[in-house]
Structure 1
Amino acid sequence: MNAPIIDPLQGDFPEVIEEFLEHGITKCIAFNRRGTLLAAGCSDGSCIIWDFETRGIAKELRDKDCVAAITSVCWSKYGHWILVSAADKSLIFWDVVKGEKISSITLPQTALQARLHPGSFTPSICLVCPLSTAPMVVDLNTGSTTVLPVSLPETGIGSIPPSRNKFLDGSTTFTPTAACFNKYGDLVYVGNSKGEILIIDHKNVQVRGVVLIPGGAVIKNIVFSRNGQYLLTNSNDRTIRIYENLLPLKDGLKALDESNNIPDELDGVDKLKAVGAKCLALFREFQDSITKIQWKAPCFSGDGEWVVGGSASKGEHKIYIWDRAGHLVKILEGPKEALIDLAWHPVHPVVASVSLVGFVYIWAKDYTENWSAFAPDFKELEENEEYVEREDEFDLMPEAEKVKESDVNEDDEVDIVTVEKDLAFSDSDTSQEEICFLPAIPCPDVPEQQDKCVESSSKLVDSNHSGSPLSVEAGQNGQAANNASSPIEAMDNSAAEDTGGTNLKRKRKPSEKVLELQAEKVKKPSRKMKPSGKSSKTRNNSLVEQETSVCGFADDVSEE
């Protein structure tokens, strides 16, 4: 009868800002497939790769010809390459380990988003969403481009007019079109400005199906979950929609070709709509019914259980998290800085968000320490209690806690080489050559600086042999000046041996004894020192001269 009360806010999602990363002004971020590396595109055209385990910079990719802001970064499936698009219309393909540029392509328009083909180990094509033209497939080897259609065949495949809005003066503006690959890259899903999701065979440049968005609002973002089972769209009507993918994850295009359940009397647009209905099914809608805010950079969690979206309002850094049932479970409020990009960690409940200032904030779960998890017999006390000692507590072999002999054969070899499959990844068995961490490269001293040090010390030795004041002074004191390993040591040695107080003096802080002598000198007149002998006289005069020269004052010391 007494049903347990379950807190709906408890879940495996981030709660607080753990720390922030700073290196230049960050514009966009992307995790690798395992979440061990975080790539960040900066405003100066560089791409910084953070080791997410140590939060240190593992690599910096910089092209001297690219100084414009980075608009998007994308990892290859196994982390060997990174595709970077910049505001100067350039598209750069990097080798991550070597830090070398493989290819560079100049596009007709600035690319807002660029994504590598997800189904191949060595991707050679990518999907680009330009600022003012239709999405295109770019061959990274040859640089050739294939423009994809953004409208139904009734208005012409690949035609631009359906995505243009006319003003009163007759000018036109193009609405950027969102597009993404499915899980294995055999189909492209395009969201246009008429509120349609086009399912396209990018190899044959053919529209295979269409799904209509309720209300026909402009689609701003479209993205698949990591497991490929759900598709997310973000529209201008301030609503995030989740569609369930009804096609098989592998060979989705082949499943479309083999589909014979479409009535023969349907043709043209009606047939495409019927095919689209068998590809996607509306699963859930998310929106803020109170504030009706626009959403920015929506995405799925690593396991697809949560949906996250950032507020597009200026001056606030808010992240909304829903479960797939449609319940709002958490609102993360950050600093008073606008949010421009975010990414959910592939494995852990961690979110990285980018602010307008250029900081990368790391949101993590606020864990509560539970010491009983480490020691099962550990007991947490609400208040102090008197401890009762057991009779056999300090015996060598306590009767109550005799250790049972283990059945494990200690002579068996333990396998510490084989890596177990990660349940979070469905194809871990095919990723043996995946790059999870970048190797540490030692940074030796620069040879030029070493040569300069050797050259400066050799010049010092030459000057000492040529009869400089340092060599003469060292010769008078019976020491060789060339024993000094650096010019600073030579100067220190000469100053220490010089008792005349004429060359290379360094002012030091007066000692307590000297300060006492100063105070006595002010109160009493100077007194004459009685020599005890010739050697004593010389020694006393030398000591007094050293004290007076170091402290910067002179005592009236007279000799008898």
Structure 2
Amino acid sequence: MNAPIIDPLQGDFPEVIEEYLEHGVIKCVAFNHRGSLLAAGCADGGCVIWDFETRGIAKEIRDTDCSAAITSVSWSKYGHRLLVSAADKSLTLWDVHTGEKIARTILQQTPLHARLNPGLTSPSLCLACPLSSAPMIVDFDIDCTTLLPVAVPEMPDVLAPPQRSKCPESGPPFSPAAACFNKSGDLVYIGNSKGEILIIDYKTVRVLALIPVIGGAPVKNIVFSRNGKFLLTNSHDRTIRIYDNLLPAKNVLRSLEDLVKKIDGDGVEKMKAVGSECLKLNREFQDSVTKMHWKAPCFSGDGEWVIGGSACKGEHKIYIWDRAGHLVKILEGPKEALIDLAWHPVHPIIVSVSLAGLVYIWAKDYTENWSAFAPDFKELEENEEYVEREDEFDLIPETEKVKVSDVNEDEEVDIDTVEKDAFSDSDMSVEELRYLPAEPIPDTNERQDNMKLIEARISASPASEEAVQNGHGPDHASSPLLGEEMGETRGKRKRKPSEKGMELQAEKAKPLKGSVRTVRAKRPVVDQEIDDSVCIDVFFSTTTQLCAESSSSWDKHDRK
């Protein structure tokens, strides 16, 4: 309880690699709203969904039309849909429960990132950020795209008709812009190559506010915290900046429109004035020693921590800051570059993707706390002499007589009212997809191997040997396949015999071959291999017989 006061740098953040997940070469990951499912895009164009509680694969999604690497994956608000963008310029919308493809569209440029609208129950709108084109809104229902502005127009009051087409014409090349929806999905925040943050109403394709970034460096990443109160930007000047979102949580678009009408002025200055009422710079994060670039920065689930991955080659380092700006932890992983990061929405767990395609799970290093087992348990650093109380062994101690129960037994307990889920801000009328049904696969190969082993042991029993000696069992000479397999088995275990062994084998050649034949020629085998345990039993039985016969022959020789 008093741990944060004693050590303010101690907190619920990951410390060590707990385990790793492997399925081909992973390129990107994303958690669903609850963190119960983890989606990952692969380099071969497939997508795998893990049940994060059991670490088992819940579903595999693959498009036969796509064989290029996946660049991003995005969950819908309730987890029923998954948006996948690939390097072949495609955007595909999937139904997670059934694994069926809902829609697919081809862009003119490769989408680096694509996000579904978080404000819609069944989203068909997504925001895509192409490689060398302006961010665009893609509507799967009508199969069209809408380009968004990446700079303030010279005459903001005169609105140009929005460009809507299936494949928009490519403009002049420029640095890719980063974009994201706000929490309610009403506005789009774009960070451009001029070091500006634009707030855009994507329905009317109009720039409502402008916030200049200090230094004017191009913005590489832009992302909101889970609660929508903070905005994070990553710029080319190797600095991560946190902004406070000053707009209300509800009716954001209406509040912003009223703010635009209330502020006097025109042009860029008016937009900057509106932007100062929307975002306020809170903190800057950077490594003042190495001045490294950051990759895939994001917030923790509760917004209290900020993480960023090192963009240096051959390093798998994750930096963790608190929101006050203090560097609290540096996680060092294997000697592999880091390409993607994701923080679990609920637990202090970080998932990182390496260049080799492995997904590393970072978790807190928990230690045993014996004081948590009982309320009166006390940990001692050294032995202390115990002095028993005077009433310790009484039937009713005096200390318990003084105690008075604070529970009011006459108070009525409300069992009808359902408390609202504090974690989820979703509509309770819509069922959220938290888990996927398991699809077990029977272990047919293992079962067949066990059956072969049982049959081999039964056939090697003394009863089967007697049956063969009595003439009821088949001879292996009648089965050429069996002879070939036995020849191969003997060939693998050949040893050079000694001189005495060769003499004894010459004397007992016929009985020895018969004994081996009676033991091994139990039954015809078709498309099977002789089990190792049977061969070992035959070897030991033959060796025992040879030793016994040799000892008896030497005894006769000594008597003579």
Q: TM-score, normalised by structure 2?
A: 0.75
Letter in structure 2 aligned against 1:178: A
CA distance in 2, matches of 1:387, 1:188: 67
Letter in structure 1 aligned against 2:275: G
CA distance in 1, matches of 2:321, 2:358: 25
- 1:32-431 paired onto structure 2 within 5 Å: 32-154=32-154, 173-259=173-259, 262-264=262-264, 266-383=265-382, 420-425=419-424, 427-428=425-426, 430=428
Is structure 2 residue 548 aligned with structure 1 residue 515?
no
**Structure 2 contact 135–177 (Cα < 8 Å) conserved:** yes
Q: CA deviation at 1:134?
A: 0.5
Letter in structure 2 aligned against 1:285: E
CA distance in 2, matches of 1:441, 1:418: 36
CA distance in 2, matches of 1:355, 1:501: 53
Equivalent residue number for residue 439 of structure 2: 441
Deviations 1:240-271 (A, max 9, x none): 1111111112222111222266454x212122
- 1:453-464 paired onto structure 2 within 5 Å: none
Q: CA deviation at 1:401?
A: 7.1
Q: CA deviation at 1:130?
A: 0.5
Letter in structure 2 aligned against 1:150: V
Give the 3 Å change call, closer, same or farther, for CA 476–397 of structure 1 in structure 2. Answer: farther
**Structure 1 contact 150–159 (Cα < 8 Å) conserved:** no
**Structure 1 contact 149–159 (Cα < 8 Å) conserved:** no
Q: CA deviation at 1:304?
A: 1.1
Structure 1 counterpart SS, 2:553: coil
**Structure 2 contact 468–518 (Cα < 8 Å) conserved:** no
Letter in structure 1 aligned against 2:428: T
CA distance in 2, matches of 1:24, 1:75: 21
Deviations 1:337-388 (A, max 9, x none): 1110101111111111111111111111222221222211223233456788
Letter in structure 2 aligned against 1:18: E
**Structure 2 contact 263–274 (Cα < 8 Å) conserved:** no
CA distance in 1, matches of 2:536, 2:11: 64
CA distance in 2, matches of 1:396, 1:46: 70
Structure 2 counterpart SS, 1:258: helix
Structure 2 counterpart SS, 1:525: helix
Give the 3 Å change call, closer, same or farther, for CA 418–110 of structure 1 in structure 2. Answer: farther
Q: CA deviation at 1:391?
A: 10
CA distance in 2, matches of 1:511, 1:419: 73
**Structure 2 contact 43–68 (Cα < 8 Å) conserved:** yes
Deviations 1:462-490 (A, max 9, x none): xxxxxxxxxx99998599xxxxxxx9xxx
Q: CA deviation at 1:524?
A: 4.3
Letter in structure 2 aligned against 1:323: D
Letter in structure 1 aligned against 2:298: C
Structure 2 counterpart SS, 1:515: helix
**Structure 2 contact 146–162 (Cα < 8 Å) conserved:** no
Give 5+ residue unaligned stretches, structure 2. Answer: 164-170, 452-466, 475-481, 483-513, 525-533
Structure 2 counterpart SS, 1:430: coil
Give the 3 Å change call, closer, same or farther, for CA 258–476 of structure 1 in structure 2. Answer: same
More deviation, 5-14/502-511: 502-511
Structure 2 counterpart SS, 1:223: strand
CA distance in 1, matches of 2:523, 2:367: 63
**Structure 2 contact 75–82 (Cα < 8 Å) conserved:** yes
- 1:404-553 paired onto structure 2 within 5 Å: 420-425=419-424, 427-428=425-426, 430=428, 432-443=430-441, 477=472, 504=523, 507-510=535-538, 515-525=543-553
CA distance in 1, matches of 2:518, 2:546: 21
Q: CA deviation at 1:7?
A: 2.4
* Equivalenced residues, count: 479
Letter in structure 2 aligned against 1:43: A
Give the 3 Å change call, closer, same or farther, for CA 503–286 of structure 1 in structure 2. Answer: closer
Q: CA deviation at 1:63?
A: 1.2
Give 5+ residue unaligned stretches, structure 1. Answer: 161-170, 454-471, 480-486, 488-494, 529-560
Equivalent residue number for residue 464 of structure 1: none
**Structure 1 contact 78–431 (Cα < 8 Å) conserved:** no
CA distance in 2, matches of 1:47, 1:102: 15
Letter in structure 2 aligned against 1:116: L
Give the 3 Å change call, closer, same or farther, for CA 6–263 of structure 1 in structure 2. Answer: same
**Structure 1 contact 227–303 (Cα < 8 Å) conserved:** yes
Give the 3 Å change call, closer, same or farther, for CA 155–262 of structure 1 in structure 2. Answer: closer
Deviations 1:146-202 (A, max 9, x none): 000111102997999xxxxxxxxxx97421110011111111111110111111110
Equivalent residue number for residue 509 of structure 2: none
Deviations 1:25-54 (A, max 9, x none): 111111111111111111111111111111
More deviation, 192-201/151-160: 151-160
Structure 2 counterpart SS, 1:151: coil
**Structure 1 contact 196–210 (Cα < 8 Å) conserved:** yes
Q: TM-score, normalised by structure 1?
A: 0.75
Q: CA deviation at 1:443?
A: 4.2
Give the 3 Å change call, closer, same or farther, for CA 172–105 of structure 1 in structure 2. Answer: closer
Q: CA deviation at 1:409?
A: 8.1
CA distance in 2, matches of 1:414, 1:513: 77
Letter in structure 2 aligned against 1:94: W
Structure 2 counterpart SS, 1:369: coil
CA distance in 2, matches of 1:358, 1:407: 57
**Structure 1 contact 75–83 (Cα < 8 Å) conserved:** yes
Structure 1 counterpart SS, 2:537: coil
State the identity %: 65
Structure 2 counterpart SS, 1:372: helix
Give the 3 Å change call, closer, same or farther, for CA 319–257 of structure 1 in structure 2. Answer: same
Q: CA deviation at 1:429?
A: 5.3
CA distance in 1, matches of 2:296, 2:519: 76
Q: CA deviation at 1:526?
A: 8.8
CA RMSD of aligned residues (A): 4.1
Letter in structure 1 aligned against 2:64: K
CA distance in 2, matches of 1:158, 1:234: 31
